[in-house]
């Protein structure tokens, strides 16, 4: 596609449920990043992939959060046993090269609300 796409755009779930957020990067982009953005704040780094390899997951807040990119393209961020504090905008970005020195292009985000 022409840009980074994310689905769903909005997700409302009840506390304790699992959610899976999808990111489809720009075709051919090597790197894929996940960020979380709270209201009134800038995005915060969660994790990063080069191809299918998860290079850095130091930003994942706890073990309820996990991410995968099994074929080096589409990525899924999974949050298990959601809590109200998980409510935020979850953003995905991709870049052509294998390092953060390249321009990152962001998707529209998934707005997650945990009731």
Could you say which residues in the range 36-95 bind another protein, by CB under 8 A? 41-45, 48, 55-56, 58-59, 89, 91, 93
CB 9 within 8 A of CB 80: no
Q: Does 1 bind another protein (CB under 8 A)?
A: no
14, containing H or E segment: none
Residue 54 to residues 8, 66, 79, 83: CA-CA distances in angstroms? 23, 10, 17, 25
Q: Site size for another protein, by CB under 8 A? A: 27
2 preceded by a cis bond (ω within 30 of 0): no
| Residue pointed to by tokens 């309820």 | 64
Q: Does 100 bind another protein (CB under 8 A)?
A: yes
Binding mask 11-40 for another protein (x = CB under 8 A): --------------------x-x-x-----
Q: How far is the CB of 115 from another protein (least distance, A)?
A: 20
């Amino acid at each position: 596609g022409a840009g980074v796409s994310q689905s769903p755009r909005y997700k409302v779930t009840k506390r304790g449920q699992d959610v899976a957020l999808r990111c489809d990067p720009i075709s051919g982009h090597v790197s894929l990043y996940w960020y979380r953005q709270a209201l009134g704040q800038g995005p915060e780094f969660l994790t990063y992939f080069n191809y299918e390899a998860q290079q850095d997951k130091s930003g994942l807040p706890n073990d309820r959060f996990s991410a995968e990119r099994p074929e080096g393209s589409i990525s899924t961020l999974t949050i298990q046993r959601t809590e109200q504090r998980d409510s935020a905008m979850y953003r995905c970005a991709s870049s052509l090269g294998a390092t953060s020195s390249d321009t990152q292009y962001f998707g529209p985000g998934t707005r997650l609300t945990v009731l």
